[in-house]
Structure formats: structure tokens, C-alpha cells
Structure 1
Amino acid sequence: MLTDYSLKMPKTIFAGEHAIEQLKPIINSGIRKIVLFTDKSLLALGLIDLPIQLIEEAGIEYTILSDIPAEPNYHEAQAMVDAFKNEQADFIVAVGGGSVMDVAKLASISATDEYTIKDLLDDPLAAKKHVRSLMIPSTAGTGAEATPNAIVGVPEKDLKIGIVNPEMIADFVLLDGRMIKDLPKPIAAATGVDALCHAIECFTSAKANPISDTFALEALDLIMNHIIEACTNPEALEAKRSMLLGSFYAGVAITASGTTAVHALSYPLGGKYHIAHGVSNAILLTPVMRFNEPAIKELLADAYDRVIHDGDQTLSIDEKSAFMINRLENIVRILEIPTSLKTFRVPEEDLEGLVAAGMEVTRLLVNNKREVTPEDARAIYQQIL
């Protein structure tokens, strides 16, 4: 565990039954023009009607930018940033999942011609915030509303890379269960397991510390005990609110600690095969946890004591650890998320390319409590091919 640690998080967070109504007083503060980032599917489903209504009631000029693809590469992110710059807005509202919020965060630090998104891949700290931002997650979720990270694809490397800069942390976050009420089950499940991965990875990270543990354990408790109901029952608003809060807490844990080999080895799956980020993580969650178990057994037992409310406290550390890994595996199974790359027709001959790309994600691999060698990565990928 780290002996020196810090915490960076959004300045103001509103959560609960009526959180979305806080949008109007926030923007009634001298703002001239808003750019609303979202995606076409949310627009078509009417899931951003309420935020639009509140902006219109406030009488503030706004433009919607919705041509954001899922899992954008840095070229696509740059196109959206350029469109944003043309609007000359002084406030950003992002309503969506991780891709939408990540692009909005990049826009908040890129209202200048001093650098491009490609430049930030090499020097992320070169950027400074130019436009304040407000995040409204429509999934629970990526935790992107809480983090200083923006993930973009790098096609020439068949990889996704995280741009990390504290300047991207949102100024405001609104967590309202109504925004995820009608989310289709496959999306709710994949993004929910992404948040689950954030929580368990941050708690077992080599960079874990008392601050990150506080948020990671609370996130794990909320997510593990509500994810199935939240994803399978459209009317379970209380469970959905718990998931939103858990996802946010897990995002905060990322800023204070960091994810590990699950995320590191999943990045090539999104970068080359465009497998959804949450699904990539779900596929790798159990194999990586079983690989890590010798180094994190006591931590998994501690997590058992916290989050398994009716658990048998007479179990040994080994038994508690095994129970936790089995519970993670069962959640993925019950939510019917694929657990094999065969589903996506990834050929076995791509194995060495996966290993090479996964081993490049040193930013996250260094967080793993058990060292991951190329041979280890190869064995993990072989389990899911």
C-alpha cells in the first residue's frame, strides 16, 4: 500500500431522486452558450429530453454534438473537438456513457490550437482546462464522470490509450437514476461489470491506499449487491441509484489508485476488434483474478467481509478469496455477457499480437500486484480464445 497518496475529484456532485433538476441553477450563472455532447442513440431514444428541456427553460443558447462513435479513436475525438471549437461555447454538458464523457472532457481542455489530441497521447499534461464541464452519466457505468482520464483508440497500434490529466476532471456531476432507467440490458450489464472491475481492481491495486480503499470498497458493496436487479428489472430505481453511486465511487477510486491487468489486457480487444470496453473487461475479469489470487488472497478475504452481508465469517482466507472470485464469475454469467473471444471470431493466430499489444499498457500493468510477464499474458489470453 502507498504511504503517500492524494485525491482529485469533481468539485460538486448532486445525486438522488431529483439530481437532474440541479442543471438549471448551475447554468443560470452567466453562461452564454452551451455545447451538449451526447450520441445519436440517446437522442433517438429520448433519453436526453429532460436535460434539453431544462436548458431551454433556462433560456440559454445551446448546440448538440452527437456524432460521437462508441469507443472513438483519436482522429474521431479530434473531429468532435474541432466541431466544439467552432461553436465558441463557454460551458459543456455531457450526457452519455464513457465515450461521450471522455470526448467532452477532451473538449474542455482543447479549446485552443496549441495542441491536438494526438499531441496529448505523448504529453497529456500539456493541456489546461479552458471550458467548465458538467457530466450526466447515462450508464452505471464507466465512472468517466469522476475521472481525469479519456480513453481513445490508436489505430496504428491496434490499441486504446488513456490520456490522463487532472485538468479534465468535471466541475459538476449529476447522478440521477432516471437517466439509466430504460437502458437496454446488454448495455447496462456491460457497463455495470466495467464499474465492478474498477472497484475490485482499485482495491487490489499495487497503488491502493486508504483513500482509494474507502471508495473502492463502498463501490464494490453497492455494485455487487445491486447489479443483477438493476440490470434485469427496469423498475428497480433504488438499485439503479445504488449502481450510479457505486459507479461514481469506483471512478473516484481510479483517480486515487488505478486499475490493473484486467483493464490493461482488455485494451487490445477494444483497439483491434472493437469489442465494447465493458465486455472486454468481463471476458478477462475471472482469468485475471485467478491469476492474481496468490498475491491478493488476503485482500479478497477483506472484501468478502465487507460486501457479503450474509457471509459465513468462519471461512478461511482461502475460502473467502475463492468465494469472491466465484461471485464475480457468476455475475458475468447471470448477466449473459460473453466470456470467450470465439463469440467475436478472434482467430487463435492473433494470440502473439494480443500479447504484444497488452504488454504495452505499462501504465496499468505496473499497478498489478502480481507481475504479468509476456508468458503470463499469453496464458491468460489462451484461456479466452
Structure 2
Amino acid sequence: MPKSVYAGEDLSTHLGEVINIQENRRVLLFTDKGIESNGLVAPIEAYFQQHDIDYRIEDEITPEPSYVQVKELLEKVTTFDFGTIVAIGGGSVMDAAKLISLLRGAPYTIEDLLDNASIAKKQVPSVMIPTTAGTGSEATINAIVTIPEKQVKFGIVSSEMLPDLVLLDVNNVKKLPKSILAASAVDALSHCVECYTSKNATTFSNDIAKIGARYIFQNIITAYTDPDNVEARKALLMGAFYGGVAITASGTTAVHALSYPLGGKFHIAHGVSNAILFRQVMELNENVIIPQLASMADFVYPNNGQTGAKSKADFLISKIANIVKTVEIPTDLHKFGVQSSDMDFLVDSALQQTRLLDHNMKKLSRADVEGIYRSVLN
């Protein structure tokens, strides 16, 4: 768990909890230009200015950056002598900030972390302020980077990445565009369901994943169809955080394993690629995760009207499929430029995601993986 977590509105006053205990009170503020233009950075800047905190903004972080881009970013930002990192943005912004918190002044490189993340040590404190209700990066020990030479994404995993402070400020998601809300919330939902059905699931991760799933299942369609419903968006923000905590305690499975090649080569947004694969992976896994799916169905929808574990599992999978359809995420890989000729690359790359596939309750064969991809290549 992050050291401190606050949820509510107008939370920038809590920044002093981390900054004021540092001898070096200079702050590196990570964000992107879209977040700045929406006015979400202004309250943080106002806090810094009111408290005479020297800060520098870095807003040129690319979506889903490669490890090479993170290395270049490190060279750029270390010209500023900062004592704390504050990140306000989506998963890419927070992941980059978490990596910089491990790399600044460290005796190892990001290439070293790709080979062995256990050597990582946090070099500077970090504060995470999410602006999408999805990635859960503010609560995870993961940072995702692309490896261009392999055309695939890779997760660097280290408990040293856990933030020192998390601010779940609902003001940051009030104006979140519908398409981003949809993709990020389905991503968060996949975190909760995958962690609940993971081999590594624990009593703690299951309790957390169920709560996160209930927040998202019960609010995503309302938040999508009624943009002014602040309570529904707040629920998604909370659900995404719970999903991130569940990832740290348990870990995602085959949905994410098969998603990474789609993002790495075809640059399909992470939440979208997860949405495309979500139902199909759950259906393939269903015969070995019926008890888990049934239990989640009863927790999220206590009056679901189904009798028998299999019927409840089917019910939950149908809810997933209906959500993806209702929030208008396309599920045909052809629309993203994927062709049948790409099948060998996709299958080979997915099977290399052993960190995630080893969590999957069902051991997937090459034929299983290919079947899932072909089912969404219409």
C-alpha cells in the first residue's frame, strides 16, 4: 500500500506531508500538456507558489513510453536538483515518474531494471495524483514500458515504486472525456477480475478486488452515459485505486499478457486492448474459475437471480461483455490494422509474457492463445 492515501476534493494541501520533510524542497512536477490545458495542474502550482516551493514542470511525457524515452527523460530532468517527484496524469505519466524515482542518481540503469528489477531502490519520494479512473498506477509496484526492438510492452516490477502519497481528487476526473473514461474504467475492471481469478490471489487481494469490482460494475455505465454524475466518476476513481492495490497483492493474468503485444506493435491504447480481449479470456478460463466468478457475481450483484455457480459465472461474463458494448469500445482488431499475417508475432509475443501467464489459473496452450486472437479478428 502507498504510505498515505486521501480521497475527496481539493486535496493539494496534503502535498506538504511529503515535501516539507525533505531537506531539498524542490519539486519535479510530471504531467502532460492536455492535463495542463484542462487546468488540473493550476491548484498544485498555486500551492507551490504559496509555500515558496521551487518547482519545474516536465510535460513532454509520451503516451506509453519506451524504456529508451524514459532514459532520455532521466537525462533531461536531472539537470534540476529536485527532492520530490509529484505526478499528475494518467498511467504513462505516473509510470514514468515512478521509474525516475528509482533511477535518479542510482548506480544502475533502466536496462538493468529490465533484466533484474530487484536491485531497485527508491532515490526520491513520490506523490501520485491520477487523472484517469483506470490504470491504478498510483497504487501498483509496476511501471510499463515498451521495448521497441521487440515491439512489445514490459512491466518493471518493484515494491520500491510504491508512492509516498496518493491524492484521489475527484476534481481531476469530472471532465474526463467519455472515450478515455470508458477505456480506463474497463482496464480497472480487468485488474479487479483478473486479480480475483489469479493463482496468486490472497484473502486480502480478494477482498480488495471485490470492492473495486463493485465500484466499477455498478457505476461505469452511469458515468459514461451521464457525464455530470460526479458520484459515479468518484466511484470509478476509487475502483481503479482498489484495482491497483489488488495488482500489487496478486497480479493480473492472461488478459494483460495478450494485451501487451497489441500495444507494443499496433499502439492500441492499453485499456482498449484489454477490453477487446476481456470476455474471450474469461470464457476460455471459465471452467477453472467458476467458483471465483460466481462469488464475485454474488458480491457485486447480490440479487442476480441466478442459481448454480456456472449460471452466476456466465452472468458475470455477460455483464463484462455488455459493459464493453455499451461504452462503445470497438472489439474487432481489423479496425486497428491487425491482419491474419500478424498472428505468429502476436502469439509468440504473448507466450513470452510468462510473468502474467504464470498467474493464470488455466495453463494456456499456443492454440488457446491463437484462438483468442482469431476470435477478435473478424
Q: Is the 8 A contact 1:92 1:134 kept in 2?
A: yes
Whether 1:332 and 2:321 are equivalent positions in the alignment is no
Q: Is the 8 A contact 1:81 1:106 kept in 2?
A: no
Which of 356, 378, 383 is residue 370 of structure 2 equivalent to? 378
TM-score (norm 2): 0.97
Whether 1:358 and 2:350 are equivalent positions in the alignment is yes
AA matched with 2:288 = A
Q: State the SS of the aligned residue for 2:207.
A: helix
Which of 229, 234, 249 is residue 241 of structure 1 equivalent to? 234
Q: Is the 8 A contact 1:35 1:64 kept in 2?
A: yes
Who is 2:289 aligned against?
296
How far 1:113 moved relative to its partner?
4.9
Quote the RMSD (CA, aligned, Å): 1.2
Who is 1:17 aligned against?
9
Q: State the SS of the aligned residue for 2:139.
A: coil
Who is 1:186 aligned against?
179
Q: Is the 8 A contact 1:24 1:54 kept in 2?
A: no
Whether 1:268 and 2:261 are equivalent positions in the alignment is yes
Question: Where in structure 1 are there 5+ consecutive unaligned residues?
Answer: 1-8
How far 1:12 moved relative to its partner?
0.4
Who is 1:146 aligned against?
139
Whether 1:281 and 2:274 are equivalent positions in the alignment is yes
CA distance in 2, matches of 1:245, 1:304: 19
How far 1:266 moved relative to its partner?
0.2
Whether 1:104 and 2:97 are equivalent positions in the alignment is yes
CA distance in 2, matches of 1:84, 1:10: 24
Who is 2:303 aligned against?
310
Who is 1:4 aligned against?
none
Deviations 1:165-189 (A, max 9, x none): 1111100000011111111111111
Q: Is the 8 A contact 1:27 1:58 kept in 2?
A: no
Q: After the TM superposition, which residues 103-182 of structure 1 pair with which residues of structure 2 at under 5 Å, given as runs?
A: 103-182=96-175
CA distance in 1, matches of 2:17, 2:48: 10
Percent identical residues: 47
Q: State the SS of the aligned residue for 1:239.
A: helix
How far 1:112 moved relative to its partner?
1.6
How far 1:24 moved relative to its partner?
4.4
Q: Is the 8 A contact 2:266 2:337 kept in 1?
A: no
CA distance in 1, matches of 2:282, 2:87: 33
CA distance in 1, matches of 2:314, 2:180: 28
Whether 1:319 and 2:280 are equivalent positions in the alignment is no
Q: Is the 8 A contact 1:28 1:58 kept in 2?
A: no
Who is 1:348 aligned against?
340
TM-score (norm 1): 0.95
CA distance in 2, matches of 1:68, 1:321: 40
Q: Is the 8 A contact 1:24 1:55 kept in 2?
A: no
Question: Where in structure 2 are there 5+ consecutive unaligned residues?
Answer: none
Question: Which contiguous aligned blocks of 4+ residues in structure 1 show a shift greater than 4 angstroms?
Answer: none
AA matched with 2:347 = V
How far 1:302 moved relative to its partner?
0.5
CA distance in 2, matches of 1:187, 1:110: 30
CA distance in 2, matches of 1:127, 1:73: 18
Q: Is the 8 A contact 2:18 2:164 kept in 1?
A: no
How far 1:348 moved relative to its partner?
1.1
How many residues align? The count is: 376
Q: After the TM superposition, which residues 203-242 of structure 1 pair with which residues of structure 2 at under 5 Å, given as runs?
A: 203-242=196-235
Who is 1:196 aligned against?
189
Whether 1:368 and 2:360 are equivalent positions in the alignment is yes
How far 1:26 moved relative to its partner?
4.3
